[in-house]
Amino acid sequence: MRFLMAISTLIVLLVPVAAFACGPDTDCQIGDRIYRISMPEGQGDAPVGAVVFAHGYRGSADAVMRNMALRRVVSDMGLALIALKSADDDWVIPYAPRHMDSDGSVEFRYVEAVLDDAVRRFPIDASRLMAAGFSAGGMMVWNLACVMPERFAGFAAISGTFWMKPPETCAAPAASLVHIHGTSDPTVPLKGRAILETRQGDVAAALDMYQGLGGFRPNGEMTFEDLTCENRRNAAGEILDFCLHSGGHSFRSDYVKFAWQQLHAAGQL
Protein backbone atom coordinates (compact mmCIF):
# COMPACT_ATOMS: atom_id res chain seq x y z
CA MET A 1 0.00 0.00 0.00
CA ARG A 2 2.80 2.42 0.89
CA PHE A 3 4.46 1.58 -2.43
CA LEU A 4 1.28 2.38 -4.38
CA MET A 5 0.84 5.64 -2.49
CA ALA A 6 4.43 6.61 -3.27
CA ILE A 7 3.93 5.87 -6.98
CA SER A 8 0.71 7.90 -7.01
CA THR A 9 2.45 10.83 -5.35
CA LEU A 10 5.30 10.66 -7.83
CA ILE A 11 2.88 10.68 -10.78
CA VAL A 12 1.06 13.72 -9.37
CA LEU A 13 4.36 15.55 -8.94
CA LEU A 14 5.57 14.69 -12.43
CA VAL A 15 2.43 15.61 -14.39
CA PRO A 16 2.83 19.41 -14.02
CA VAL A 17 6.50 19.15 -14.93
CA ALA A 18 5.75 17.14 -18.08
CA ALA A 19 2.97 19.51 -19.06
CA PHE A 20 5.25 22.50 -18.49
CA ALA A 21 8.30 21.20 -20.34
CA CYS A 22 8.70 22.20 -23.97
CA GLY A 23 11.49 23.27 -26.25
CA PRO A 24 12.92 22.80 -29.75
CA ASP A 25 11.79 19.16 -29.99
CA THR A 26 8.61 19.35 -27.92
CA ASP A 27 5.51 21.44 -28.45
CA CYS A 28 4.67 24.25 -26.07
CA GLN A 29 0.90 23.94 -25.70
CA ILE A 30 -1.33 26.98 -25.33
CA GLY A 31 -4.98 26.01 -25.62
CA ASP A 32 -5.43 24.17 -28.91
CA ARG A 33 -2.36 25.82 -30.48
CA ILE A 34 1.37 25.17 -30.12
CA TYR A 35 4.76 26.79 -30.62
CA ARG A 36 8.36 25.68 -30.11
CA ILE A 37 11.34 27.45 -28.63
CA SER A 38 15.11 27.05 -28.66
CA MET A 39 17.16 28.96 -26.08
CA PRO A 40 20.71 30.06 -26.96
CA GLU A 41 23.60 27.80 -26.04
CA GLY A 42 25.44 28.78 -22.88
CA GLN A 43 22.58 31.00 -21.78
CA GLY A 44 22.79 32.12 -18.16
CA ASP A 45 20.10 33.54 -15.92
CA ALA A 46 19.78 36.92 -17.64
CA PRO A 47 16.77 37.38 -19.96
CA VAL A 48 17.58 37.22 -23.67
CA GLY A 49 16.00 38.68 -26.78
CA ALA A 50 14.21 36.47 -29.29
CA VAL A 51 13.46 36.02 -32.97
CA VAL A 52 9.80 35.05 -33.35
CA PHE A 53 9.66 33.18 -36.67
CA ALA A 54 6.64 32.60 -38.92
CA HIS A 55 6.99 29.65 -41.34
CA GLY A 56 5.96 29.55 -45.00
CA TYR A 57 3.00 27.80 -46.66
CA ARG A 58 2.40 24.32 -45.23
CA GLY A 59 5.30 24.80 -42.84
CA SER A 60 5.46 23.98 -39.16
CA ALA A 61 7.19 24.93 -35.93
CA ASP A 62 8.96 21.57 -36.05
CA ALA A 63 10.34 22.29 -39.53
CA VAL A 64 11.64 25.69 -38.38
CA MET A 65 13.46 23.99 -35.51
CA ARG A 66 14.96 21.45 -37.90
CA ASN A 67 16.62 24.30 -39.78
CA MET A 68 19.90 23.98 -37.91
CA ALA A 69 21.52 26.85 -39.81
CA LEU A 70 18.81 29.22 -38.58
CA ARG A 71 19.03 27.90 -35.03
CA ARG A 72 22.82 28.27 -35.04
CA VAL A 73 22.71 31.85 -36.35
CA VAL A 74 20.12 32.90 -33.78
CA SER A 75 21.90 31.12 -30.93
CA ASP A 76 25.26 32.63 -31.87
CA MET A 77 23.65 36.06 -31.48
CA GLY A 78 22.70 35.08 -27.93
CA LEU A 79 18.99 34.99 -28.80
CA ALA A 80 16.11 32.58 -28.42
CA LEU A 81 14.26 31.27 -31.48
CA ILE A 82 10.48 31.02 -31.11
CA ALA A 83 8.76 29.10 -33.93
CA LEU A 84 5.08 29.85 -34.54
CA LYS A 85 2.53 27.48 -36.15
CA SER A 86 -0.29 28.74 -38.36
CA ALA A 87 -3.92 27.90 -37.62
CA ASP A 88 -4.24 26.27 -41.08
CA ASP A 89 -1.84 25.20 -43.84
CA ASP A 90 -1.43 28.93 -44.36
CA TRP A 91 -1.76 31.90 -42.03
CA VAL A 92 -5.38 32.93 -41.50
CA ILE A 93 -4.91 36.59 -42.38
CA PRO A 94 -6.90 39.06 -44.52
CA TYR A 95 -7.36 38.12 -48.21
CA ALA A 96 -5.36 34.89 -47.91
CA PRO A 97 -6.57 32.02 -50.14
CA ARG A 98 -9.55 30.24 -48.57
CA HIS A 99 -9.59 32.92 -45.84
CA MET A 100 -10.84 35.92 -47.79
CA ASP A 101 -13.24 36.99 -45.03
CA SER A 102 -10.73 36.68 -42.18
CA ASP A 103 -9.71 39.74 -40.20
CA GLY A 104 -6.64 37.89 -38.94
CA SER A 105 -7.73 38.06 -35.29
CA VAL A 106 -7.37 34.30 -34.75
CA GLU A 107 -3.66 34.57 -35.59
CA PHE A 108 -3.09 37.87 -33.78
CA ARG A 109 -4.60 36.53 -30.54
CA TYR A 110 -2.43 33.43 -30.92
CA VAL A 111 0.78 35.46 -31.29
CA GLU A 112 -0.16 37.55 -28.24
CA ALA A 113 -0.67 34.32 -26.28
CA VAL A 114 2.66 32.89 -27.48
CA LEU A 115 4.57 36.00 -26.40
CA ASP A 116 2.91 36.04 -22.98
CA ASP A 117 3.48 32.31 -22.49
CA ALA A 118 7.13 32.36 -23.62
CA VAL A 119 7.97 35.24 -21.28
CA ARG A 120 6.26 33.40 -18.42
CA ARG A 121 8.04 30.08 -19.01
CA PHE A 122 11.48 31.26 -20.13
CA PRO A 123 13.92 34.11 -19.41
CA ILE A 124 12.87 36.17 -22.44
CA ASP A 125 13.32 39.93 -22.60
CA ALA A 126 9.96 41.14 -23.95
CA SER A 127 11.53 44.45 -25.05
CA ARG A 128 13.93 42.70 -27.46
CA LEU A 129 11.69 40.73 -29.81
CA MET A 130 11.93 40.70 -33.59
CA ALA A 131 9.21 39.07 -35.71
CA ALA A 132 10.62 37.43 -38.84
CA GLY A 133 9.16 35.21 -41.52
CA PHE A 134 9.69 33.85 -45.01
CA SER A 135 7.19 33.72 -47.90
CA ALA A 136 3.72 33.29 -46.36
CA GLY A 137 5.49 33.93 -43.06
CA GLY A 138 6.68 37.26 -44.45
CA MET A 139 3.03 38.08 -45.18
CA MET A 140 2.23 37.27 -41.56
CA VAL A 141 5.06 39.57 -40.43
CA TRP A 142 3.66 42.52 -42.39
CA ASN A 143 0.30 41.95 -40.74
CA LEU A 144 1.89 41.79 -37.29
CA ALA A 145 3.72 45.05 -37.94
CA CYS A 146 0.42 46.63 -38.90
CA VAL A 147 -1.66 45.29 -36.01
CA MET A 148 0.67 44.95 -33.01
CA PRO A 149 3.78 47.10 -33.53
CA GLU A 150 4.05 47.68 -29.78
CA ARG A 151 4.82 44.02 -29.04
CA PHE A 152 8.00 43.90 -31.13
CA ALA A 153 11.14 46.02 -31.39
CA GLY A 154 11.14 45.40 -35.12
CA PHE A 155 10.12 43.19 -38.03
CA ALA A 156 11.90 41.30 -40.82
CA ALA A 157 9.70 40.28 -43.76
CA ILE A 158 11.44 38.03 -46.27
CA SER A 159 9.80 37.36 -49.66
CA GLY A 160 6.26 38.17 -48.55
CA THR A 161 3.91 41.12 -48.10
CA PHE A 162 0.19 41.75 -47.62
CA TRP A 163 -2.30 39.70 -49.61
CA MET A 164 -4.21 41.67 -52.25
CA LYS A 165 -3.32 45.19 -51.06
CA PRO A 166 -2.01 47.01 -48.00
CA PRO A 167 -4.60 48.14 -45.46
CA GLU A 168 -5.77 51.74 -45.49
CA THR A 169 -3.80 52.33 -42.31
CA CYS A 170 -2.02 50.49 -39.50
CA ALA A 171 -1.69 50.87 -35.75
CA ALA A 172 0.55 53.80 -34.86
CA PRO A 173 3.25 54.65 -34.16
CA ALA A 174 4.97 52.82 -36.99
CA ALA A 175 7.54 50.19 -36.07
CA SER A 176 10.93 49.42 -37.63
CA LEU A 177 10.80 47.00 -40.55
CA VAL A 178 13.32 45.40 -42.90
CA HIS A 179 11.93 43.89 -46.11
CA ILE A 180 14.13 41.49 -48.12
CA HIS A 181 13.16 40.14 -51.56
CA GLY A 182 14.59 38.54 -54.69
CA THR A 183 14.29 40.49 -57.94
CA SER A 184 13.62 37.28 -59.90
CA ASP A 185 11.25 35.66 -57.37
CA PRO A 186 8.67 33.64 -59.39
CA THR A 187 6.72 32.40 -56.35
CA VAL A 188 6.06 35.76 -54.72
CA PRO A 189 6.98 38.32 -57.39
CA LEU A 190 7.63 41.87 -56.26
CA LYS A 191 4.40 42.96 -57.97
CA GLY A 192 2.49 39.87 -56.79
CA ARG A 193 0.45 37.38 -58.81
CA ALA A 194 -3.05 35.92 -58.82
CA ILE A 195 -3.69 32.84 -56.66
CA LEU A 196 -7.16 31.25 -56.54
CA GLU A 197 -9.68 33.98 -55.74
CA THR A 198 -7.09 36.44 -54.44
CA ARG A 199 -3.64 37.72 -55.36
CA GLN A 200 -0.38 38.54 -53.68
CA GLY A 201 0.16 42.20 -52.97
CA ASP A 202 2.61 44.63 -54.52
CA VAL A 203 5.67 45.11 -52.28
CA ALA A 204 6.12 48.72 -53.44
CA ALA A 205 2.54 49.54 -52.41
CA ALA A 206 3.14 48.14 -48.91
CA LEU A 207 6.35 50.11 -48.53
CA ASP A 208 4.70 53.30 -49.75
CA MET A 209 1.83 52.89 -47.28
CA TYR A 210 4.19 52.28 -44.38
CA GLN A 211 6.50 55.10 -45.41
CA GLY A 212 3.58 57.51 -45.24
CA LEU A 213 2.36 56.11 -41.93
CA GLY A 214 5.73 56.45 -40.23
CA GLY A 215 6.99 59.60 -41.91
CA PHE A 216 10.04 57.77 -43.26
CA ARG A 217 12.49 59.60 -45.50
CA PRO A 218 15.30 58.32 -47.77
CA ASN A 219 18.53 57.81 -45.86
CA GLY A 220 21.00 56.49 -48.43
CA GLU A 221 21.85 53.02 -49.65
CA MET A 222 24.02 50.16 -48.41
CA THR A 223 25.14 46.68 -49.40
CA PHE A 224 25.48 43.52 -47.35
CA GLU A 225 26.82 40.42 -49.09
CA ASP A 226 24.25 39.83 -51.86
CA LEU A 227 21.82 42.51 -50.64
CA THR A 228 21.45 46.06 -51.93
CA CYS A 229 19.31 48.18 -49.61
CA GLU A 230 17.43 51.45 -49.80
CA ASN A 231 17.36 52.83 -46.28
CA ARG A 232 14.65 55.04 -44.83
CA ARG A 233 14.53 56.65 -41.37
CA ASN A 234 12.06 58.83 -39.50
CA ALA A 235 12.35 61.45 -36.76
CA ALA A 236 11.64 58.87 -34.04
CA GLY A 237 14.60 56.70 -35.14
CA GLU A 238 12.61 53.83 -36.67
CA ILE A 239 13.90 52.23 -39.85
CA LEU A 240 12.25 51.07 -43.07
CA ASP A 241 14.80 49.20 -45.20
CA PHE A 242 14.06 47.66 -48.59
CA CYS A 243 16.73 45.13 -49.56
CA LEU A 244 16.97 43.24 -52.83
CA HIS A 245 19.06 40.32 -54.04
CA SER A 246 19.23 38.99 -57.59
CA GLY A 247 17.95 35.54 -56.70
CA GLY A 248 14.52 33.95 -56.65
CA HIS A 249 12.30 32.73 -53.81
CA SER A 250 15.10 31.96 -51.39
CA PHE A 251 15.84 32.21 -47.70
CA ARG A 252 19.18 32.57 -45.95
CA SER A 253 19.59 32.50 -42.19
CA ASP A 254 22.01 35.41 -42.50
CA TYR A 255 19.10 37.58 -43.64
CA VAL A 256 17.62 37.24 -40.16
CA LYS A 257 20.96 38.18 -38.63
CA PHE A 258 21.27 41.16 -40.98
CA ALA A 259 17.81 42.46 -40.05
CA TRP A 260 18.57 42.14 -36.35
CA GLN A 261 21.86 43.99 -36.80
CA GLN A 262 20.10 46.79 -38.69
CA LEU A 263 17.60 47.18 -35.88
CA HIS A 264 20.35 47.07 -33.27
CA ALA A 265 22.46 49.68 -35.10
CA ALA A 266 19.43 51.97 -35.18
CA GLY A 267 19.00 51.60 -31.41
CA GLN A 268 15.76 49.64 -31.66
CA LEU A 269 17.14 46.55 -29.87
Q: What is the pLDDT of residues 100-148, one digit of tens each?
A: 999 999 999 999 999 999 999 999 999 999 999 999 999 999 999 999 9
The domain in which residue 70 lies consists of: 2-265
Pairing verdict, β 48-54 and 124-134: parallel
pTM, two decimal places: 0.91
Write down the pLDDT at residue 204. Answer: 98
Q: What is the CATH number of the domain that holds 192?
A: 3.40.50.1820
Q: pLDDT value at position 18?
A: 39
| pLDDT per position as a tens digit, 180-217 | 999 999 999 999 999 999 999 999 999 999 999 999 99
Distance CA 1, CA 195 (A): 66
Report how many domains make up the chain. Answer: 1
Pick 19 or 233 by higher pLDDT. 233
Higher pLDDT, 60 or 267: 60
Q: What is the pLDDT of residue 17?
A: 41
Task: Please give the mean pLDDT across all residues of the chain.
Answer: 92
Q: What percent of the chain has pLDDT over 90?
A: 88
Work out the average pLDDT over 94-105.
Answer: 95
Kindly state the average pLDDT of the residues 246-252: 97
> How much is the pLDDT for 268?
82
Distance of CA 232 to the CA centre of its chain: 21
Instruction: Give the pLDDT confidence score for residue 20 in this predicted structure.
Output: 57
79 has pLDDT over 70: yes
What pLDDT is stored for residue 269 in this prediction?
82
